[in-house]
């Protein structure tokens, strides 16, 4: 297992370093359209992963796209995990009216058509918003909207802990509520928090691309992992062009490595 | 000997049934559920398909020759300076349910069509002036229809009007076309069966239609449509994406058809609405003819056609596609790609290129956004290519894709946009169908709709020309007026025309008599004469 | 009885608030007052104007909502503007299709997640752990539209695609929860004493983590509802998901409101059931 984790760490480092050094190691700018060559070309010396449908170097786009997605998706995942912990764990721990209210809100949150809120946000943003602001807003929204499912799970967990013997004992010996929350409740909810954090990363990366249809997210010509993966949606046109799967493979490997590194941390803490 | 004769007979019978087999169920996809089966209320593509295949019309524009041909009317006459049309009907005709067809049904259809509360595209085409439309039944097979104002191209408009029965208990489901709607399962399919009362026969005297049925599968996803076609589950793809064309051609070259440039166009325009919530200095750019012309010549249309549409598109010239043999102004040629000319036009208005950034005479950097609908990949790609093209003359473009309702609200109600890319689907060839686009008072006068009075002299001239062409019964005068409108659009570039997409389709080798054309419906326009070889047997595939 | 009444009252209250919020979101979203059709150049100015004012009756959202709720109590949910048919009819014919899809999908997803989570926890094999992580990671990273398309191309049922999406989301929670439970001192003792794995799972793990495991299952129902949209749209399944997408694009207020009611009821029922059963586990433990 140790070997696998070392491999995971190295892979993550390589991906992060590659994306940070994109400016120097990418053979072309991510936006340059090589119009004299055929678009959608296969791999060649000049274009290691071929070109996309506008004749842009796919390898360079993967490098730059990683930068955007790998930086912001974990940040948004962290935000949603924090919100889930705050709302779910507090609800479960405090119980009573607060729990009822928080869980009712969570159910409501799970059922509302948020698409329309996103549409409203886009309508409020100016059209000439910089790509960076647009991406930031998108991931912020994803972070703010992505907490509800795990809040319910956390609430159930916190309730369990509230009624457990050791918390009763701690309470009896006069440990304060806040101290209890941070020292006993939250650490015990770690499995759920880690799961929420880990799942959110790929989900947010893909959601960002889907929000492109509402005019949110990464705008052309800036690449992101999500927009690179959307190429695969043109499935009928996919005939043996395996290099197009590289962004997907890279994302899966990165996400798996993330989990392997995380689970190690989980064990250390437990 | 006897045995040999039997064998010979059998061979002949088999051959004949293969060659002339009246048989089979043709299958293809429509994108959505039809919103209505009422032929005069049709507005969406799916309903239009059902209408075309089931509706019996008085006259029909032959999609191949683009000429008008008699159908349920054997002859017609326009009189009263274009206000009245008199049809002589084919006698002894019956609706699919057996109800007889007479001049009363024509009068009934016209009455339904002109109902002021209908608000249908078909009906609106006939509203050239205020007042009532009157019908006069002259005999069981003769009817005169009089309009309150002269109506140019009146006879061709009846191509879109299927006759409805005044008496049939089945109402709009009783039809006169080659097929009738036998079954409909929401979200799944529309099943059309052969109408045994259909009047037409082919040149060899066979009763039409040759097919037994048509199954229209409801399938919004184009990838799945292609996959099913490849598997032999579908017989044709009516409009094929250019992305798919070459892929399909590699595997089965005989199955793809490129009929050449279609009537449809893709274009970009700038927001010129004075009250628009955008910066005033940007409004100054957008109303400048030089600015628009500069952008127009700085776009590489050949690249758009080659890269976005894989070569299956042509650089567009103006509002009428070269495919429209009757109305296109042949004097006009596509604008050449020329960045030097673009900078020259810009310099005339005081724009200057400084360190790769174009600035207006106040020093503002030229930057604008192009909105387009997210559901169209080609439009997003065109916008991205235009982004790179315009960066060469120092203009920064931001591409924003929006969902369709948000986009429409921005461009038609809030006017909160700077430039937009959209397409026009032209089902009709006559410029009359574009009145609301080119009249300054029109709701579809995209760059500045619903003007109280024309704000520019060239728009005032266009108004006059459009009025003249819609009221004149003289075809030559109409053509001259429309030619001038095309020239004004070419000079002023209020709409920057980008490309005309080619009409691409796929037809299985199993389908006989299909002859795809550029006019809609490209592939099944002669559905009554299409048949399937091998009795429509799909098992061999 | 009292508990049931309380739950029903809670459900109704959330339903009413949810419906109102949803209606407000739709009403004030951009594109509410427009109709795609108005871009048709063949329409006269008068017709375009008429289309613009067609939704005037829905402008006052409070009035619209009270009218809607009143008729909803009588079993009427208005007309769908985009599809030109009564909402009740549309939902009625499509609901069974989606229920079947989601039901099968959830069962497949839960079963897969349970098998993989329990086996990974019990086996504690590094390679197997990496494999399950990779598998669930892969399924999370494939865009749902692509996953659905793969199933269409393979001629496989869409419910399995949905099941895989559910699996990808549920597995990590369950795996982590089980792993934590197995690491608890009394479980380690039980294992050392040689208690059978099944016994440990049923009598020691479930009472402690059962509530959370069920809570995950409960929220995965909402997830499956969301995932049904691309699956139905791409696999050509004429269900509620396909309808929801059309309704959203057409800003079809009556239809969207009815669908929100439906989703809210399903979500609330799923979560309430998981909560009630979960607390019975705790009671058992106590």
Residues B419-429: tens digit of each pLDDT: 999 998 887 88
Q: Which two tokens stand for residue B296?
A: 């127009």
Closest CA to B329 of B318, B313, B343: B318
- Are A108 and C216 inside 8 Å of each other by CB? no
Residue/partner pairs of B84-87 with CB below 8 Å, 24 or more apart: B84/B144, B84/B145, B84/B146, B84/B147, B85/B144, B85/B145, B85/B154, B85/B155, B85/B158, B86/B138, B86/B142, B86/B143, B86/B144, B86/B145, B87/B58, B87/B142, B87/B143, B87/B144, B87/B145
Contact B331, B270 (CB under 8 A): no
Angle (nearest 5°) at CA B408 between B420 and B455:
65
Residues B390-425 have pLDDT tens digits of 999 999 999 999 999 999 999 999 999 999 999 988
Would an 8 Å CB–CB cutoff place B256 in contact with chain A?
no
Tokens 């001192």 correspond to: C185
Q: Which two tokens stand for residue A61?
A: 């786009």
Tokens 């809100």 correspond to: A105
> How close does chain C come to B142, measured CA to CA in Å?
29
**What's the rounded Cα separation, in Å, for the pair C106 and C164?**
9
Contacts of B198 (CB under 8 A, 6+ apart): B56, B176, B177, B178, B207, B208, B209, B528
Which of A65, A118, A153, A248 has the highest number of chain C CBs within 10 A, making it the mutation to test binding with C?
A153
For residue B366, give the chain A residue with the closest CA: A128
What's the pLDDT score for residue B375? Answer: 84
Residues B80-97 have pLDDT tens digits of 888 999 999 999 999 999
Closest CA to A210 of C226, B369, C154: C226
Q: In chain B, which residues have their Cβ closer than 8 Å to the Cβ of A41?
A: none
Contact B135, B152 (CB under 8 A): no
- Are B221 and C233 inside 8 Å of each other by CB? yes
Which of C22, C139, C140, C187 has the highest number of chain A CBs within 10 A, making it the mutation to test binding with A?
C140
Scanning C58-97 for CB atoms below 8 A from A yields none
Residues B95-139 have pLDDT tens digits of 999 999 999 999 999 999 998 888 888 888 888 778 889 999 999
Contacts of B252 (CB under 8 A, 6+ apart): B509
H or E element: which one contains B536? Answer: none
H or E element: which one contains B330? Answer: none
Closest CA to C125 of A268, A262, A194, A1: A1
Scanning C134-173 for CB atoms below 8 A from A yields 134, 137-138, 140-146, 149-150, 153, 168-169, 172-173
**What's the rounded Cα separation, in Å, for the pair A125 and A132?**
13
Would an 8 Å CB–CB cutoff place C44 in contact with chain B?
yes
CA B294 to chain centre: 30
Scanning A55-114 for CB atoms below 8 A from C yields 100, 103-104, 107-108, 110-114
Tens of pLDDT along chain A (270 residues) come to: 678 889 899 999 999 999 999 999 999 999 999 998 888 888 999 899 999 989 999 999 999 999 888 888 999 999 999 999 999 998 988 888 989 999 999 999 999 999 899 999 988 889 998 877 888 899 999 999 999 988 988 998 888 888 777 788 888 888 887 888 888 888 888 888 999 899 999 999 988 888 877 778 888 888 988 888 888 877 666 677 888 888 889 999 998 898 888 875 544 333
Q: Which of B374, B398, B399 sits opposite A213 (nearest CB)?
A: B374
- Are B223 and C149 inside 8 Å of each other by CB? yes
Q: Is the pLDDT of residue B7 over 80?
A: no
Q: In chain C, which residues have their Cβ closer than 8 Å to the Cβ of A152?
A: 215, 218-219, 271
Contacts of B279 (CB under 8 A, 6+ apart): none
What's the pLDDT score for residue B538? Answer: 64
Contact A87, A149 (CB under 8 A): no
Q: Which of C177, C248, C268 sits opposite A107 (nearest CB)?
A: C268
Contacts of A224 (CB under 8 A, 6+ apart): A65, A68, A69, A135, A205, A208, A209, A217, A218
> How close does chain C come to B205, measured CA to CA in Å?
38
Q: Which two tokens stand for residue C83?
A: 């599809």
> How close does chain B come to C259, measured CA to CA in Å?
17
What is the value of pTM for the model shown?
0.91
Q: Which of C14, C141, C173 sits opposite A153 (nearest CB)?
A: C173
CA C267 to chain centre: 7
> How close does chain A come to C115, measured CA to CA in Å?
18
HSE of C215, CA atoms in CB hemisphere, 13 A: 31
- Cis bond leading into C24, ω under 30°? no
Which phi and psi angles does B192 have, rounded to 5°? Answer: -110, 135
Angle (nearest 5°) at CA C199 between C195 and C200:
75
What are the E-state strand segments in chain C?
79-80, 85-86
* Coil vs helix vs strand at B211: coil
What's the pLDDT score for residue C242? Answer: 86
Q: Which two tokens stand for residue B444?
A: 């579809």
């Amino acid at each position: 297992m140790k070997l696998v984790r070392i491999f995971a760490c190295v892979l993550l480092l390589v991906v992060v370093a590659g994306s940070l050094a994109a400016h120097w190691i990418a053979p072309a700018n991510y936006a340059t359209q090589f119009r004299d060559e055929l678009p959608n070309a296969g791999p060649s010396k000049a274009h290691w992963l071929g070109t996309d449908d506008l004749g842009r170097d796919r390898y360079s786009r993967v490098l730059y796209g990683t930068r955007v997605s790998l930086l912001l998706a974990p940040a948004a995942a962290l935000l949603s995990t924090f919100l889930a912990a705050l709302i779910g764990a507090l609800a479960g721990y405090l119980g009573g009216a607060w729990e009822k209210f928080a869980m009712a809100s969570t159910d409501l949150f799970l059922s509302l058509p948020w698409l329309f809120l996103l549409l409203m946000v886009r309508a409020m943003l100016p059209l000439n918003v910089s790509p960076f602001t647009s991406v930031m807003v998108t991931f912020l929204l994803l972070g703010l909207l992505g907490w509800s499912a795990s809040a319910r799970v956390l609430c159930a967990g916190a309730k369990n802990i509230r009624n457990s013997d050791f918390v009763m004992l701690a309470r009896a010996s006069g440990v304060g509520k806040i101290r209890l929350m941070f020292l006993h409740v939250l650490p015990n909810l770690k499995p759920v928090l880690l799961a929420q954090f880990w799942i959110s990363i790929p989900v947010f990366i893909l959601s960002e691309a889907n929000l492109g249809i509402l005019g949110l997210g990464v705008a052309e010509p800036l690449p992101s992992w999500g927009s690179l993966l959307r190429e695969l949606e043109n499935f009928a046109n996919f005939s043996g062009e395996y290099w197009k799967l590289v962004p997907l493979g890279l994302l899966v490997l990165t996400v798996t490595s993330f989990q392997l590194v995380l689970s190690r941390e989980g064990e250390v803490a437990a | 000997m006897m045995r040999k004769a039997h064998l010979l007979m059998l061979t002949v019978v088999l051959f004949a049934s293969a060659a002339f087999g009246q048989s089979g169920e043709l299958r293809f996809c429509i994108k959505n559920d039809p919103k209505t089966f009422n032929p005069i209320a049709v507005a969406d593509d799916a309903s239009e398909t059902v209408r075309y295949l089931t509706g019996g019309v008085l006259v029909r524009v032959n999609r191949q020759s683009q000429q008008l041909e008699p159908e349920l009317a054997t002859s017609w006459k326009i009189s009263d300076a274009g206000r009245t049309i008199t049809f002589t009907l084919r006698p002894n005709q019956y609706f699919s349910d057996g109800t007889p067809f007479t001049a009363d049904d024509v009068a009934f259809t016209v009455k339904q069509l002109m109902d002021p509360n209908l608000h249908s595209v078909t009906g609106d085409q006939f509203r050239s002036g205020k007042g009532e439309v009157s019908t006069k039944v002259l005999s069981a097979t003769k009817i005169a229809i009089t309009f309150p104002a002269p109506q140019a191209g009146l006879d061709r408009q009846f191509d879109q009007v299927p006759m409805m029965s005044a008496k049939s208990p089945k109402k709009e489901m009783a039809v006169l076309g080659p097929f009738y709607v036998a079954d409909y399962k929401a979200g799944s399919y529309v099943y059309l069966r052969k109408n045994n009362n259909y009047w037409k026969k082919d040149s060899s005297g066979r009763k039409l239609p040759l097919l037994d049925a048509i199954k229209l599968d409801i399938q919004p996803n184009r990838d799945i449509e292609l996959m099913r076609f490849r598997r032999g589950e579908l017989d044709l793809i009516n409009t094929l994406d250019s992305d798919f064309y070459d892929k399909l051609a590699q595997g089965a070259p005989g199955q793809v058809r490129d009929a050449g440039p279609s009537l449809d166009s893709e274009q970009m325009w700038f927001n010129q609405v004075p009250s628009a919530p955008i910066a005033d200095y940007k409004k100054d750019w957008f109303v400048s003819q030089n600015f628009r012309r500069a952008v127009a010549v700085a776009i590489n249309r050949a690249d758009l056609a080659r890269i976005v549409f894989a070569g299956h598109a042509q650089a567009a010239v103006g509002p009428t596609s070269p495919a429209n043999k009757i109305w296109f102004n042949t004097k006009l040629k596509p604008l050449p790609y020329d960045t030097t000319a673009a900078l020259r036009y810009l310099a005339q208005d005081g724009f200057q290129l400084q360190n790769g950034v174009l600035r207006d005479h106040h020093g503002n950097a030229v930057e604008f956004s192009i909105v387009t609908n997210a559901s169209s990949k080609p439009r997003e790609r065109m916008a991205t290519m235009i982004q790179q093209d315009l960066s060469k003359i120092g203009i920064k473009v931001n591409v924003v894709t929006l969902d369709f309702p948000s986009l429409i609200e921005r461009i038609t109600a809030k006017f909160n946009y700077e430039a937009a890319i959209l397409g026009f689907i032209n089902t009709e060839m006559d410029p009359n169908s574009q009145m609301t686009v080119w009249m300054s008072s029109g709701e579809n006068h995209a760059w500045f709709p619903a003007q109280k009075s024309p704000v520019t002299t060239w728009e005032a001239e266009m108004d006059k020309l459009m009025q003249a062409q819609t009221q004149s019964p003289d075809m030559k005068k109409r053509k001259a007026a429309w030619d001038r409108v095309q020239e004004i659009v070419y000079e002023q570039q209020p709409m920057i025309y980008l490309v005309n997409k080619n009409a691409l389709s796929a037809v299985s080798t199993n389908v006989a008599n299909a002859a795809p054309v550029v006019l809609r419906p490209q592939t099944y326009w002669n559905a009554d004469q299409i048949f399937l070889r091998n009795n429509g047997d799909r098992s061999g595939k | 009885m009292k508990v049931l009444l309380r739950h029903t009252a809670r459900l109704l209250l959330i339903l009413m608030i949810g419906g109102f919020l949803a209606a407000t979101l739709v009403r004030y979203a951009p594109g509410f007052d427009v109709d795609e059709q108005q871009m048709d150049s063949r329409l006269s100015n008068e017709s375009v104007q008429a289309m613009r004012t067609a939704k005037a009756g829905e402008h006052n959202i409070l009035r619209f909502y009270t009218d809607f709720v009143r008729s909803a109590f009588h079993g009427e949910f208005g007309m769908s503007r985009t599809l030109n048919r009564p909402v009740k009819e549309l939902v009625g014919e499509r609901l069974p299709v989606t229920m079947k899809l989601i039901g099968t999908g959830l069962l497949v997803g839960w079963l897969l997640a349970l098998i993989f989570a329990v086996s990974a926890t019990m086996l504690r094999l590094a390679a197997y752990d990496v494999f399950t992580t990779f598998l669930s990671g892969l399924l999370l990273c494939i865009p749902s539209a692509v996953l659905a398309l793969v199933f269409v191309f393979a001629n496989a049922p869409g419910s399995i695609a949905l099941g895989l999406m559910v699996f990808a989301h549920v597995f990590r929670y369950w795996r982590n929860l089980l792993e934590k439970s197995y690491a608890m001192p009394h479980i380690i003792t039980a294992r050392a004493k040689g208690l059978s794995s099944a016994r440990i799972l049923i009598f020691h793990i479930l009472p402690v983590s059962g509530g959370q495991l069920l809570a995950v299952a409960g929220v995965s129902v909402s997830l499956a509802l969301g995932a049904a949209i691309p699956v139905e749209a791409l696999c050509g399944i004429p269900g509620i998901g396909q309808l929801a997408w059309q309704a959203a694009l057409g800003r079809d207020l009556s239809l969207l409101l009815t669908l929100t009611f439906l989703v809210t009821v399903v979500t609330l029922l799923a979560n309430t059931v998981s909560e009630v059963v979960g607390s019975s586990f705790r009671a058992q433990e106590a």
